[in-house]
Copies of this chain bind each other. A is one copy, B any other.
Amino acid sequence: MHAMAQAATEAVTGAARTAPATIGDSEFDRDTAVTLREEGVYDAELSAGWTIIHAVNGGYLLALIGRALGEALPHPDPFSVSAHYLTASVPGPAVIRTEVVRTGRTLSTGQASLLQYDENGDEVERIRVLATYGDLDALPDDVRTTALPPAMPGRDHCLGPSDGAPEIPGSSAITERLDIKLDPATVGWAIGAPSGKGEMRGWFGLADGRDPDALSLLLTVDALPPTSFELGLTGWTPTVELTTHIRCRPAPGPLRVAITTRNLAGGFLEEDAEVWDSADRLVAQSRQLAKAPRTA
């Protein structure tokens, strides 16, 4: 059975799954749980459920770190999170060491390191993060924006794994936890006909039906296939740095994600993601610098 179909089946057959999962009681919440060890230090277990090939997805890791920082800082919500990826994370135990850098009235800034253990039990740093937190509920309602939601077909006209169409080559466990439907205009790569444009668009949800919140947006910005696929490149695009701005608490319901790359050059590319919620609000913007695949 196809992974996505299987996940959907499990979602409707399990007794505890007759209703959609909720914020606080979902796969995502359980797998991003952190346990206070001592002040500022949190233990976590990196779940094998969010891997692509063998590596743990960078957006999932960011959400987990974001959760720890939300506990360590006086403000609840990530406003700007800058992550520099150092070494590839693997499923298993991890520790997050946080530092409160500055506490202000409306914003506070923290730092976090995600570490795992080598064969000698020594800590190896995976990701270092600087983040500024605030309270999304305290923001005024003004919107003075020129941005429009991405032009893409409705969810029913987009393509998911169960449509027999695109699947990330070699990708694995994370597919079962996400409900992604890609814009047909950006899936040419799956049939050997990439568009040549640095664009990737799709509808995003969690497979168990949990609604989005500020933390899950940190996962959303790094969950679609890389734009390099549509630029005719296959292979891995490891993230060097990823900065995400959370601009609004997302409304319940599916999200739209549009990713663009303007500059694939010198062996690197940037990926800009915009995330729009069901109320047509631009709820997150991110940019990452990634290494371009070596193979054409």
Residues of A within 8 A of B (CB): 79-80, 82, 84, 86-87, 101-102, 107, 109, 111, 125, 128-132, 136, 139-147, 197-198, 231, 240-241, 243, 245, 247-248, 261-268, 270, 274, 281-282, 285, 287, 289
A80 / chain B contacts, CB cutoff of 8 Å: 84, 240-241, 289
Q: Which of A79, A87, A144 has the most chain B CB atoms inside 10 A of its CB?
A: A144
Majority secondary structure of chain A interface residues (helix, strand, loop or mixed): strand
CA distance A243 to B197 in the complex (A): 25
Q: Kindly provide the distance from the CB of A285 to the nearest chain B CB, expressed in whole angstroms.
A: 6
Do the beta carbons of B247 and A268 come within 8 Å of each other?
yes
Q: Kindly provide the distance from the CB of A243 to the nearest chain B CB, expressed in whole angstroms.
A: 5
A240 / chain B contacts, CB cutoff of 8 Å: 79-80, 107, 132
CA distance A131 to B243 in the complex (A): 12
Q: Kindly provide the distance from the CB of A248 to the nearest chain B CB, expressed in whole angstroms.
A: 6
Q: Kindly provide the distance from the CB of A219 to the nearest chain B CB, expressed in whole angstroms.
A: 20
Do the beta carbons of B245 and A146 come within 8 Å of each other?
no
Do the beta carbons of B101 and A128 come within 8 Å of each other?
yes
From B111, B197, B243, A241 is in contact (CB under 8 Å) with B243
Do the beta carbons of A282 and B263 come within 8 Å of each other?
yes
CA distance A259 to B212 in the complex (A): 30
Q: Which of A80, A267, A285 has the most chain B CB atoms inside 10 A of its CB?
A: A80
Do the beta carbons of B107 and A87 come within 8 Å of each other?
no
